Amino acid sequence: MNNREKLEKMDRALRLLEDLKNSQQAMVEKASQLQLDAMEFNFSEMEKNMGELFSRYNQSLDFVNQEIERFEIKRNQFEQKHGLDKMDEE
């Protein structure tokens, strides 16, 4: 696999990470809404469980965001190291 192909695979991985981030964000929002609904319905066990899910999903979202940042840095360094950023400008 040449460097251009590696960069394309890295870009694909970034897109997948972004998709994962978006899915995780949706889960955070849904868990939060369900926790609020449980409060309104006075379902204390569901409220507690949705609060726990919210916390876990939020931590996972933070983890995914950190991974995206780290991977973008590595991807950009790879692109610059191999002069692939200059090839696009020509």
- The string of DSSP codes covering 25-82 is HHHHHHHHHHHHHHHHHT-HHHHHHHHHHHHHHHHHHHHHHHHHHHHHHHHHHHHHHT
Please give the C-alpha separations between residue 13 and each of 8, 33, 48, in angstroms, as whole numbers. Answer: 9, 30, 35
Residue 89 pLDDT class (50, 70, 90 cuts): low
Which pTM does this prediction carry?
A: 0.85
Query: Over the stretch 31-46, which tens digit does the pLDDT of each residue have?
Result: 999 999 999 999 999 9
Q: Percent of the chain, pLDDT > 70?
A: 96
